[in-house]
């Protein structure tokens, strides 16, 4: 599938085949494809919880507006956006720095890197949330396109109790949850509605 086909084929699927499981290798492939997403300074401030256990999915469904797809989809991912991913001492930050040095960045530039990250992600209280959300959002989009390219269907959801999910699944404070992502195969014989409307080029491109 080329990108034009992937872009046209991807749809948010409401009704999954609960009997058709997604193999672990396929989930791994999907995540590995999405891991090529770009991110600020290549900090990759994202993680995933991958739920396939029915009890866990039932627990999540109760916190996600009771959306049936949370249980019907064989796999549901909780996308995690790490608001601390730019901070000194964070494993992601330190790994990124280590790789930068390996690629030729002089060690003396560390202060520059720290200051640059602080100036971008610590200038207002919301900046670290924006950092996490935009980067994890790109990753989530890549997950959806990767899934489509592998013949899987997805459905993103922000209809859930953010604090309830964090508490119910013991998710540490540094994470914000941009969305849940149902993954699976569509119900046999499901007739899809026509694609939803989209803004035109003229609607999208503005000047001020």
Ligand X SMILES: Cc1cc2nc3c(=O)[nH]c(=O)nc-3n(C[C@H](O)[C@H](O)[C@H](O)COP(=O)(O)O)c2cc1C
Interface positions with ligand X (CB under 6 A):
11-12, 67, 156-159, 179, 196
Nearer Cβ to ligand X (101/137): 137
Nearer Cβ to ligand X (87/186): 186
Nearer Cβ to ligand X (156/184): 156
Structure tokens given for 62: 């109760």
Helix (H) or strand (E) holding 80: strand 75-82
Least separation in angstroms between residue 98's CB and ligand X is 33
- Spatial distance between the Cα atoms of 147 and 181, rounded to a whole number of angstroms: 11
Least separation in angstroms between residue 17's CB and ligand X is 17
Structure tokens given for 125: 């209280």
Nearer Cβ to ligand X (16/97): 16
Helix (H) or strand (E) holding 48: strand 46-51
Q: Give residue number: closest CB to ligand X.
A: 159
Least separation in angstroms between residue 54's CB and ligand X is 20
Residues contacting 45, CB < 8 A, separation 6+: 39, 81, 82, 83, 85, 86, 92, 131, 132, 135, 136
Please answer whether residues 15 and 72 qualify as being in contact, where contact means their C-beta atoms are separated by less than 8 angstroms.
Answer: yes
Least separation in angstroms between residue 40's CB and ligand X is 20
């Amino acid at each position: 599938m080329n990108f034009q086909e992937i872009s046209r084929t991807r749809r948010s699927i409401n009704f999954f085949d609960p009997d058709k499981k997604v193999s672990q290798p396929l989930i791994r492939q999907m995540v590995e494809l999405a891991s090529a997403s770009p991110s600020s300074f290549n900090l990759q401030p994202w993680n995933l919880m991958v739920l396939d256990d029915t009890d866990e999915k039932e627990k999540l469904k109760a916190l996600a507006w009771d959306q049936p797809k949370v249980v019907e989809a064989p796999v549901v991912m909780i996308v995690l956006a790490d608001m601390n991913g730019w901070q000194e001492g964070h494993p992601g930050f330190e790994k990124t720095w280590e790789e930068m040095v390996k690629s030729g960045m002089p060690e003396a530039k560390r202060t520059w890197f720290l200051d640059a990250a602080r100036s971008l992600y610590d200038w207002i209280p919301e900046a670290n949330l924006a950092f996490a959300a935009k980067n994890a959002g790109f990753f989530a989009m890549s997950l959806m396109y990767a899934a489509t390219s592998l013949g899987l269907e997805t459905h993103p959801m922000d209809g859930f109790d953010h604090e309830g999910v964090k508490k119910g699944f013991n998710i540490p404070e540094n994470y914000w949850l941009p969305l849940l992502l149902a993954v699976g195969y569509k119900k046999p014989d499901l007739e899809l509605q026509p694609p939803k409307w989209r803004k035109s080029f003229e609607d999208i491109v503005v000047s001020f």
